[in-house]
């Protein structure tokens, strides 16, 4: 069976550096960092001289929130608001109207880690310390569930085709985009609104601290310096939030309506490790890279840039660098990570970072890894982009995402050629 070609016609972003792709990219190019001390979090042990928590939060425009009909807004926690804002940007760039999406040929796939974490916490507070179920809103369930972002966005946009919600932590967004590509490639959908979203929560950040994957000010005092992908002084990840949403479309469908084509999605792969749930595994990552290039039927030596997952954890960065070095050989493509700028946005990370990578493709430049000063042991031997943006024509980019649970995902996008 000949697979149909899948292209990107719209992108939308809500990020710690701005709530449009232009604002986000300008912040990245300027070397800004969205990470700060989360003084508003009420966590036992936090807020003292010895233990504070960092995060990379979003400031969403109140005008957008109030512009949503109350009938829709009442079922949305922050994660759904972020996803809805980014989705609206994406369909507007794609030249689509909400009414055009109400058909069985348009789908929606949006992943996340846990769903509406703030709503989950609120429900716990009500049941445990409040008046009990009588105080609970009838919308609490709809704000909390793991698929809250996708069903709220599909409702907002009146999408009636395939609706799915991958829930694979840091791999969620790439799995969403990859599944969307497959639906289009095999003729099951013409358009899919897809990506990932996440909301920042102390419960999630605190969990990373417990398993020694997170970074607190006890180890790095300056929030702007604490996320250090691949660096010798890296000591853990910092959680962030936001959303990245794309419009994926079958090529001939996009051409027939005169849509601007931003890039083509040419390969996707996802696989499990099978042996490890809490540590990244270099052989499994390498296998995922082999699979994505086989899917695209493209030689790895054509790759112009790798946007790494690189979360600033000791084991994760080491494993990814090892897999890249072993897979690509002596001369690796240029590599950078954006988590020094925005922290780890978990279920949104793959989509936010892909959007930035496609903007790099448009601008023919590579954003460097913020705070990478000296590659750590085992992270050497790959072509790190450091300190300053690097001018380079980018025709083929690789985006990596690797999640706890041993779940790996990779996506290949190339500059569109008719």
| Strand locations in 25-169 (E) | 36-37, 54-55, 106-111, 163-164
By C-alpha distance, which of 360, 11, 383, 387 is closest to 173? 11
Q: Which two tokens stand for residue 243?
A: 């959303």
List beta partners, residue 272: 407
Give the H or E element holding residue 82: helix 78-93
Q: Would residue 309 show up in a list of annotated catalytic residues for this protein? A: yes
List beta partners, residue 191: 106, 249
Q: Are 51 and 219 in contact (CB under 8 A)?
A: no
Which listed residue (6, 170, 194, 288) is catalytic? 170
Q: What is the DSSP letter of 346?
A: G
Which listed residue (147, 155, 179, 344) is catalytic? 344
CA distances from 35 to 1, 55, 350, 368 (A): 47, 5, 18, 17
Q: Would residue 170 show up in a list of annotated catalytic residues for this protein? A: yes
Q: Are 406 and 319 in contact (CB under 8 A)?
A: no
Which listed residue (309, 379, 384, 413) is catalytic? 309
Q: Which two tokens stand for residue 161?
A: 């085709």
Q: Are 43 and 27 in contact (CB under 8 A)?
A: no
Q: Are 41 and 51 in contact (CB under 8 A)?
A: no
First-to-final CA distance of the chain: 21
* Radius of gyration, alpha carbons of the chain: 20
Tokens 């969620």 sit at which residue?
Answer: 172
As a three-state string, the secondary structure of 20-41 is CHHHHHHHHHCCCCCCEECCCC
Q: Are 178 and 192 in contact (CB under 8 A)?
A: no
By C-alpha distance, which of 82, 52, 49 is closest to 64? 82
List beta partners, residue 335: 306, 384
| Strand locations in 181-331 (E) | 191-198, 242-250, 263-272, 305-307
Q: Would residue 271 show up in a list of annotated catalytic residues for this protein? A: no
Q: Pairing mode, if any, of strands 407-414 and 263-272?
A: antiparallel
> Which residue numbers are catalytic?
170, 309, 344
């Amino acid at each position: 069976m000949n697979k149909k070609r899948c292209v990107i016609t719209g992108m939308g972003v809500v990020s710690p550096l701005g709530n449009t792709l232009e604002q986000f990219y300008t912040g990245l190019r300027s070397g800004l960092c969205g990470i700060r001390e989360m003084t508003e979090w009420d966590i036992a042990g936090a807020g003292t001289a010895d233990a504070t928590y960092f995060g990379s939060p979003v400031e969403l425009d109140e005008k957008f929130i109030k512009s949503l009909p109350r009938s829709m807004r009442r079922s949305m926690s922050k994660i759904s608001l972020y996803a809805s804002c980014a989705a609206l940007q994406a369909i507007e760039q794609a030249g689509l109207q909400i009414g055009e999406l109400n058909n069985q040929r348009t789908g929606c796939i949006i992943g996340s880690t846990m769903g509406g974490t703030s709503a989950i916490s609120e429900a716990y507070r009500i049941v445990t310390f409040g008046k009990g179920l009588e105080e609970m809103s009838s919308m609490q369930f709809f704000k909390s569930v793991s698929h809250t972002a996708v069903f709220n966005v599909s409702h907002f946009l009146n999408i009636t085709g395939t609706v799915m919600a991958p829930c694979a932590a840091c791999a969620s967004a790439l799995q969403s985009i990859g599944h969307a590509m497959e639906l289009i490639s095999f003729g099951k959908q013409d358009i899919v609104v897809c990506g990932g979203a996440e909301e920042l929560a102390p419960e999630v950040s605190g969990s990373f601290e417990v398993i020694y994957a997170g970074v607190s000010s006890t180890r790095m005092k300056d929030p702007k310096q604490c996320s250090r992908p691949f660096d010798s002084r890296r000591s853990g990840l910092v959680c962030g939030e936001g959303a990245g949403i794309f419009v994926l479309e079958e090529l001939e469908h996009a051409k027939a309506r005169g849509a601007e084509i931003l890039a083509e999605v040419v390969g996707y792969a996802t696989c499990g490790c099978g042996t490890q749930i809490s540590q990244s595994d270099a052989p499994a990552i390498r296998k995922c890279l082999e699979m994505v290039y086989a899917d695209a039927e493209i030689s790895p030596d054509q790759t112009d840039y790798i946007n790494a997952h690189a979360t600033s954890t000791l084991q994760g960065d080491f494993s990814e660098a090892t897999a890249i070095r072993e897979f690509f050989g002596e001369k690796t493509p240029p590599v950078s990570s954006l988590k020094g700028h925005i922290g780890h946005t978990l279920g949104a990370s793959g989509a936010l970072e892909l959007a930035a990578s496609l903007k790099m493709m448009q601008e023919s430049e590579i954003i460097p890894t913020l705070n990478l000063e000296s590659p750590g042991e085992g992270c050497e031997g790959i072509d790190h982009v450091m300190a300053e943006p690097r001018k380079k024509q980018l025709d083929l980019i690789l985006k990596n995402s690797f999640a706890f649970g041993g779940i790996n995902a990779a996506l290949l996008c190339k500059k569109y050629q008719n």
